[in-house]
Amino acid sequence: MNKRSIQSLNSQSSQSKKPKHNTSITASLHIKCFGSKNPVEFIDLEPRKPYTIGRDRGRCDYVFEHPQVSKTHCQLYFDDCTKKVFISDGVRVRVSLNGVFVDGVRVGKGESKELFAGSEVSFVCGSCFRVGFVVEEIVFSDSGLAYAGLLSRKCREILSSDDPVLYIRKCFGNVARCGSRNRVKSNSRFPPDNCIDLVSNAELLCCNVNGGNLEQLVNVDERVPLRECNSSEKRRDKYTCEVNVVQSDQVLKPRKRGVCVPPPGSKFYLNRLHFMDDGQLGSDEVNVTLPELLYPVETLERVFIATFTSDLSWFLSYCEIPAHLPIAVACHNAERCWSSCPDKRTLRPYSDFPNLVVIYPQFPETISFGKERKKFGIACHHPKLFVLQRDDSIRVIITSANLVAKQWLRVTNTVWWQDFPCGSVPDFTSLFAQSSTEEVNLNSKSDFAAQLAGFMATLLVGAPDQAHWILELTKFDFSNAAGHLVASVPGIYSPKHPYLSDSRHLLSGDCCTPRPLRRVLLGSVDASVVGISYLFRTSADSNGALLKRLAGVLGNISANAHGLLEVILRRNVNIAADANAVSIAVSESQESPGGGCIQIGFLPRDVAKWVAPLSDAGWFAFSAYIYPKEVLACAIEGSNNKAHLILYGPNYLNISKSGSPALASAMCSLVASIQRCSGLWRLHEILGHYKWPEHWETDFTFGSSSVGAVNAPFLAAFSAATGKRSSQFTESEESDPDWGCWSASQELRNPSIKIIFPTIERVKAATCGIFASKYILCFSQKTWLRLKHLSILHDAVPRSAGRVGHPMHVKVARRRFQSRTNSSSFGWVYCGSHNFSAAAWGRPLHNSLNSQANGVARSKSVLGSRLHICNYEFGIVFIVPPSERTYYNDNIHSDLDDIILPFVVPARRYRSTDIPATKFAMSRAYAELAYQEREKRVEVMNDEEELMDEEEELLEVPDTVVEEKEDEKAYAEKLWGSS
If phi > 0 it is left, if psi is from -120 to 50 it is alpha, else beta; for residue 119 that is beta
Q: Which helix (H) or strand (E) holds 552?
A: helix 545-556
Count Cβ atoms below 10 Å from residue 392 Cβ, excluding itself. 9
691 is in an annotated binding site: no
Tally of CA atoms within 13 A in the half-sphere of 591 that contains its CB: 1
Count Cβ atoms below 10 Å from residue 195 Cβ, excluding itself. 17
For 841-902, give the secondary structure using H, E and C.
Answer: HCEEECCCCCCCCCCCCCCCCCCCCEEEECEEEEEEEEEECCCHHHHHCCCCCCCHHHCCCC
Cα–Cα distance, 37 to 552 (Å, whole number): 77
Count Cβ atoms below 10 Å from residue 812 Cβ, excluding itself. 24
Cα–Cα distance, 322 to 314 (Å, whole number): 13
Sorted by sequence, the CB contacts under 8 Å of residue 959 that are 6+ apart come out as 847, 848, 849
The catalytic residue positions are 382, 809
From the list 701, 752, 724, 529, the residue with the least C-alpha distance to 632 is 529
Helix (H, G, I), strand (E, B) or coil at 217: coil
The answer to whether residues 31 and 136 touch, using CB atoms and an 8 Å cutoff, is: yes
Cα–Cα distance, 509 to 217 (Å, whole number): 61
Count Cβ atoms below 10 Å from residue 45 Cβ, excluding itself. 22
Alpha-carbon dihedral 367, 373, 376, 379, rounded to 10 degrees: -50
The answer to whether residues 818 and 692 touch, using CB atoms and an 8 Å cutoff, is: no
Cα–Cα distance, 532 to 963 (Å, whole number): 12
Q: Which helix (H) or strand (E) holds 237?
A: none
Cα–Cα distance, 979 to 976 (Å, whole number): 5
Q: Are strands 825-832 and 62-63 parallel, antiparallel or unpaired?
A: unpaired
Strand partners, 43: 29
Cα–Cα distance, 648 to 624 (Å, whole number): 6
What one-character DSSP code corresponds to residue 391? S
Cα–Cα distance, 973 to 321 (Å, whole number): 50
253 is in an annotated binding site: no
The answer to whether residues 116 and 275 touch, using CB atoms and an 8 Å cutoff, is: yes
Q: Is 278 exposed, middle or buried (0-12, 13-18, 19+ CB in 10 A)?
A: exposed
Sorted by sequence, the CB contacts under 8 Å of residue 801 that are 6+ apart come out as 282
Cα–Cα distance, 609 to 709 (Å, whole number): 39
From the list 655, 658, 662, the residue with the least C-alpha distance to 520 is 655
Burial track 748-766 (b if 16+ CB lie within 10 A, e otherwise): eeebbbbbbbbbbebbbeb
Residues annotated within the binding site for substrate are: 384, 811
Residues annotated within the binding site are: 384, 811
